[in-house]
Every structure is written in structure tokens, then in C-alpha cells.
Copies of this chain bind each other. A is one copy, B any other.
Amino acid sequence: MSTSLDSLDTPAAVIDLARMQRNIDRMQQRMNALGVRFRPHVKTSKCTPVVRAQLDAGAQGITVSTLKEAEYFFAEGITDIVYAVGMAAHRLPQALALRRRGCDLKVLTDSVASAQAIAAFGRANGEVFDVLIEVDTDGHRSGIRPDDATLLDVGHALHDGGMRLAGVLTHAGSSYELDTPEALAALAEQERAGCVGAAERLRAAGLPCPVVSIGSTPTALSAAHLDGVTEVRAGVYVLFDLVMHNVGVCTTDDIALSVLTTVIGHQVDKGWAIVDAGWMAMSRDRGTQKQHRDYGYGQVCTQDGTVLPGYVLSQANQEHGIVSCESAPALDIVERFPLGTRLRILPNHACATGAQFPEYRALSGDNQLTTWERFHGW
């Protein structure tokens, strides 16, 4: 399908393919240099062509955040899948069905009770689940601390319970709160050392631990070395966004996702242009609010992608956005952005903004557009 941005209705979620491919290559080359497998997290895109591009570049397997993602990408022919959210007992039949259909699905636990539930269900159904133990290396969410006695208890509950203890997995999600190379490198090392240490404790206790899986986009791009790590996971790097820009791991020129919008009105006295990208398009994500640079609901660019410094989507209602100049009311707003002007807005958070759309519009270097479906729900 060949057309141009002018032909699209707005709002539309546009992926700049050259930027996306550059982001994919950068991460894959870095992982190759560090000597680890790379397993992208597909929750960012939920879109087959994006994931295919990641695999084509050398990624091995995928990470998912829901079993719907697992079902969807397994139907697309991808079998090596880590479900990186703690396994709820009521979802075990669905996980079992996926495995019986040939999906090499690995599941996650961080408690003895959950490990016992997985093992009991596995034994009752004659299935040996591959199970990773979630390790907490930065205190931000789930997982067992590397030095917590529970780690070995969970390991034994799985291994002695007849399951395959596949390894350990951690996610240093607090990296999103940092913004200096030194702090990022330090957290990356903390993530690595904590997860490797957990693996070593399990092995010292006579338990198997083949996989040591770590990752977040900021730490993956900041680690000095990954000794002892076998695989890295990251998601948002494929598109990047303003939060990642503020963290310091990309420039605005790396951000591959933008929302195409149309100017539908003005408030001249206030210096506002009203556009048809509200929070339904951008999402309610205000991730840059607590960072050193607050972009409101997004950075305004021309339709060709040129950043307009100082112009942000300062407010958003459901289907209305307000474009304004941060420094002073733009008294030339009507002349600058006449009715019908098309703008592109760089989002705070690519995962959240993408989820607002049923499809991406993939824009190639020669200005051709292709529609890429993405899926929604659970």
C-alpha cells in the first residue's frame, strides 16, 4: 500500500522505519558485543512486523507481559517465549495448553506458594513446566532479593517438585528514574551482580540455573559488561520516547513513534492551537512530569518530523490537545499553525501511546506508508 502522511486521517500512530531499524541494530550489536542473547519485550509494540524486524536482526525468542501476547505471537510462528509476569494459578491451564501445542513457554514465580501451585498443577497434568525465579535487584516491584532465604526455598519447591528450574530473571525498572550515565552504569551493574549472585546461590545449593536473564532499556544500554548473564530483555528501545530521552539513552532523533495530528482550532489570545490528538491518542502518560524536562503530553514536530523547540502538547482532553509555546504565548499561533496544519507529536511513553491505536502507520524512507496491525486487550 503506497500513500503519504497527507492521506492519513488523524490522529494516527506513525512509526519511522529508518529510526526503528537503527534502534534495533544498535541494541542487537551491543548485545552481540557483550556476548549475550537478546530477547526483546514485545509488550511495547504488540505488532508482528516490529517483532519480525527484531528477530531478523538477531534476537532469540521474545518476552511477553500477558498470555494473550504469547498466544498471538505463537500463532505467528514464534515458539521461544518468556512470560515475564508472575504466574497466576488460574492461568496455568492456558499456559499448559500453549505448551501442549508446541510453545516453549517459560513462566515466572517469586514465592514458595506460587512455585508449589505451579509444581502441583504440572504434576497433576504430567507437564514439566520451565520456570524462572524472579529476582528483585532494585526494590521497585516484584521478585525475591538475591540474599533472601526464600530464593532457595522456591528453587527447591520447583526442582524437588518436578519442574524444570530454568533460571533467574530480573528487571531493574527503577532505571527509568535515573538520568546520568554514572547512575545508569551503577544500576546496570547492580542488576547484573544481583541476578548472577542469585544464580550462583542456587547452583551452590545444587540446583540448576542455566538462564540468567536481566534487562531494561536503560540498563541494557548502560552496562559495562555482562559477565555471568546469559540473556537480556528490553522493550521500549525499539521505538524510544521522551522518557528515555530524559533518562539519557536516546536523542529525540531516535524516537521512532509519533502521533500525526491536525490543527482544528485556535485560542489566539492564549497562543493555543487546538489539535485532534488528545489523551485518547497520546495516552494519559505524563512520565516526563517528574523528570528534569517536562514535555506535557508530548514534543511538537512538523509533519516531516522536525522538532519545534519549545512547542509542546501542554494539555489534553479526550479528543482535544492544546499546542502551546512553553516560554510565552505564541501570538502568531494562527499564522504559524493555520487550520488544517499537520503536526507530529513525540510521546512521553511509546508503550502507552501505541496501546491507544489499533494500528501503526509504518513510514519508510521513500515516504511509503504501510498499515501494521497491533492488538489490544487480554
Contact = CB atoms under 8 A, between A and B. Distances in A.
A43 B378 contact: no
A317 B274 contact: no
A95 interface: no
Interface in A292-333: 317-320, 322
Given A141-B274, A142-B274, A284-B284, A262 B322 contact: no
A194 interface: no
Contact of A319 (B10, B43, B286, B319): B43
A357 B85 CA distance: 19
A284 to B, nearest CB: 4
Given A86-B274, A264-B86, A274-B141, A318 B351 contact: yes
A206 interface: no
Interface residues of A, number: 56
Interface in A167-210: 173
Contacts of A88: 10, 262, 264, 276, 339-340
A326 to B, nearest CB: 19
Contacts of A91: 9
Contacts of A142: 265, 267, 274, 320
A16 interface: no
A259 to B, nearest CB: 11
A10 B351 CA distance: 20
Interface in A23-69: 43, 65-66
A117 interface: yes
A158 to B, nearest CB: 15
A89 B355 CA distance: 27
B11 A378 contact: yes
A340 B111 CA distance: 13
A172 to B, nearest CB: 13
A211 B279 CA distance: 29
Contacts of A320: 85, 141-142
Contacts of A114: 264-265, 339
Given A85-B264, A317-B141, A111 B339 contact: yes
A102 interface: no
Interface string A139-151: 0011000000000
A278 to B, nearest CB: 8
A96 to B, nearest CB: 15
A355 B283 CA distance: 10
Contacts of A12: 378
A377 B12 CA distance: 9
Nearest to A41: B318
A65 B264 contact: no
26 contacts: A9-B90, A10-B88, A65-B319, A85-B276, A86-B265, A87-B264, A88-B264, A89-B339, A111-B266, A111-B339, A114-B265, A114-B339, A141-B267, A141-B274, A141-B320, A279-B285, A280-B355, A281-B378, A283-B283, A283-B284, A284-B284, A284-B285, A284-B286, A284-B349, A284-B352, A376-B376
5 tightest Cβ-Cβ pairs between the two chains A and B: A284-B284, A358-B377, A86-B264, A284-B285, A65-B319
Given A65-B280, A85-B276, 11 more contacts: A10-B378, A11-B378, A85-B319, A87-B264, A111-B265, A142-B265, A142-B267, A142-B274, A173-B317, A279-B285, A358-B377
